[in-house]
Amino acid sequence: AQSVTQLGSHVSVSEGALVLLRCNYSSSVPPYLFWYVQYPNQGLQLLLKYTTGATLVKGINGFEAEFKKSETSFHLTKPSAHMSDAAEYFCAVSVSSSGGYQKVTFGTGTKLQVIP
Amino acid sequence: DGGITQSPKYLFRKEGQNVTLSCEQNLNHDAMYWYRQDPGQGLRLIYYSQIVNDFQKGDIAEGYSVSREKKESFPLTVTSAQKNPTAFYLCASTPAGGHGNYGYTFGSGTRLTVV
């Protein structure tokens, strides 16, 4: 079984400051890792994903994340926060299961507040 | 543009009533999914369908039913057996390779409230 832990349900940063949202996972098999963003009353949108290969992945809106196997982490970062980054962010892990289905487990989310 | 359309955006249900949430996609995706979102709990899988005329229960299927008669459509019925249906419901889809390779495309959600 896999699990995802997002440290901090709420994170506040000043506009222009570094954004760091933490995600740790556990999985008995190599996982695929994802970050999604959700604006109020909207669906989730894929920010970036790690499947195989390069451990530093770049996504949309200037976000990036680094897969660190030794730390079982996949933290999301952005060098300079913008007001439009205020949203809720979800980390997710995906592993293969029976019948070709890939089981997805989501974290409980981190709400990012950007202070002007 | 291709995407997933969920309707209605807001839905109110009376006690003992069944309601159906619509989900339509024009992405030609094979697999479709229904999730429930409650504050502070992340997303929980209700049902999924990998091909037409086949679907599987997810983690919290009790009190819900689905059908997959067309590739484009995956409606969710919230039955009166679901004791706490107030939540935000999200429909998602993926190509045949599944979430691991592609990630989900989500609709914009339906907010269901029991009155």
What integer pLDDT is reported at residue B77 of this predicted model?
97
Render pLDDT for B5-42 as a digit per residue (tens, 0 to 9).
999 999 998 888 999 999 999 999 999 999 999 988 88
Distance CA B52, CA B95 (A): 13
Beta strand B110-114 with A32-38 is unpaired
Closest by Cβ to B40, choosing from A9, A101, A106: A9
Find the closest chain B residue to A52 by CA distance.
B101
Chain-chain contact of B108 with A44 (C-beta, under 8 angstroms): no
Of A15-29, A31-45, A96-110, B15-29, which range is least confident? A96-110
